[in-house]
């Protein structure tokens, strides 16, 4: 492989606009939020065409397949052509919107929620957006 053909995963994820900065892409790789075949990878891992990566960004989870290399950050329209999104519809952020989230209502006259009530509410909402 020629030197010009090597491309690091952190640079690739930044170039295809998965992360806003390259350092965020590097941090995601170090934290284990970018996986290749279920295995954590280092930011310096070399990208190959046909590789399938699982990327987690907050509640958003993406599965992408590398179609073409992108060495520099480009327009979003061009960046989308460099990978194929294999994410199932059920796992997209749009699917888990506020319209599907549980609606929480307190009884009239129940008063202000306590700290314990607030923690239970937050845990319920967090569990809705987490992976099963």
Q: Give pLDDT tens digits along the chain (132 positions).
A: 455 578 999 999 999 999 999 999 999 999 999 999 889 999 999 999 999 999 988 778 899 999 999 899 989 899 999 999 998 877 665 555 555 556 677 788 888 888 998 898 888 777 766 654
8 vs 3: CA distance, rounded Å: 12
Is the distance from CB of 60 to CB of 48 less than 8 angstroms? no
DSSP, res 47:
P
Burial 57-86 (b: 16+ CB within 10 A, else e): eeeebbebebeebbeebeeeeeeeebbeee
121 vs 35: CA distance, rounded Å: 31
């Amino acid at each position: 492989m020629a030197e010009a053909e090597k491309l690091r995963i952190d640079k690739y994820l930044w170039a295809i606009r998965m992360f806003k900065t390259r350092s965020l892409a590097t941090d995601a790789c170090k934290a284990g939020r970018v996986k290749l075949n279920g295995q954590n990878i280092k930011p310096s891992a070399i990208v190959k065409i046909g590789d399938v990566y699982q990327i987690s960004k907050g509640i958003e989870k993406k599965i992408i397949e590398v179609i073409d290399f992108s060495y520099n950050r480009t327009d979003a329209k061009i960046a989308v052509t460099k990978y194929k999104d294999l994410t199932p519809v059920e796992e997209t952020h749009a699917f888990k919107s506020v319209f599907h989230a549980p609606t929480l209502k307190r009884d009239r006259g129940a008063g202000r929620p306590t700290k314990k009530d607030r923690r239970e509410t937050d845990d319920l909402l967090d569990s809705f957006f987490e992976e099963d």
